[in-house]
Structure 1
């Protein structure tokens, strides 16, 4: 059932397998996208949306048109192959906007303030919906497996396993990079599988985000 993997209005990543412009049809695959590819593409999308929102806020607060910001910031960055989100991160860390940012002084000042307020230390999140079947061992086996899985997270990382509705659970990890968040999640799922399989249980990954 596709609803075991996707929810209505959920944003996710697919790989295009083939397309037919004549039929206005595109065939895509969810399974052929790796966890790393999905995490990277979603992170890229979220950064773009963040930049667009900040530019809108900047225009609103300073009373200038978005065309001025487009010509003084967005286009020069694109011409120099500079990622605006990375530029905003640098400004948030204390750097001044570079000289090629051709914005009026009041807009530059507001941009600095906005970056330092809106751009926080990056935290990557990875989530999976899973099904845990304990067999005859019952709920105590689930608890034992969860305790073992929690060891996958490092000191500065977060891992949670919450009940959605038995046997369905949400496994969520937070780490400094998407790759590390995926690694913590993978190790947690392996730990769950190892513990429950020893006593006849199973783990099924339903959806990865």
Structure 2
């Protein structure tokens, strides 16, 4: 379920939700949906576990956070039936991580509002803009951390808010970075070949690359060289590495040398 969906009155069938157990009975556990203003739902004992449940309290306890799947929604009766047993381990991990990130983003917005001496209503307006333009709160903060507050301005925020949010984000979020490597063989037997090879390798650092990306070149024994790329995401790192390798091989061949990718 996206953060935009969380703004709806009720979740949809099939959504994954984070909920807090409020009461446990012999027939099931009552929960409040954290992302839906505390709307109440029920996890029937038959939806607690894939195995026989001898004591429901061994699987759910008051105050516990659970990731649940929505089975049925009745807006007329304001009733939501949920399942614990139908949530896979991977779904649970991914949903909890998403939920924690969104909570961190909420805290960052509050800190930015305090920094600017803005009201809760002002912060709520900013929250709505981010949800509308980016589909969530955490992802635009990551983008601002990587590309600067201009990303938020383009999304509809004022420069004042964008700058404050970017400054607070720097102290609260550390970008996860990906690193990839590739190896090339480069030779040139023309006069000045050593310098030609050097220039070809250095051309990899001059390519256009995503902000926050870095290209490094290492010799691992002539004529082999390693190109290492570190970037904000695996996709960006892979793309940058591909462009860097192409640039090196193209440059050396234009200069009369030879080059090929080894891995």
- Structure number with greater Rg is 2
Of Structure 1 and Structure 2, the greater helix share is in: 1
The structure with higher relative contact order (CA 8 Å, sep 6+) is 1
Q: TM-score, normalised to structure 2's length?
A: 0.39
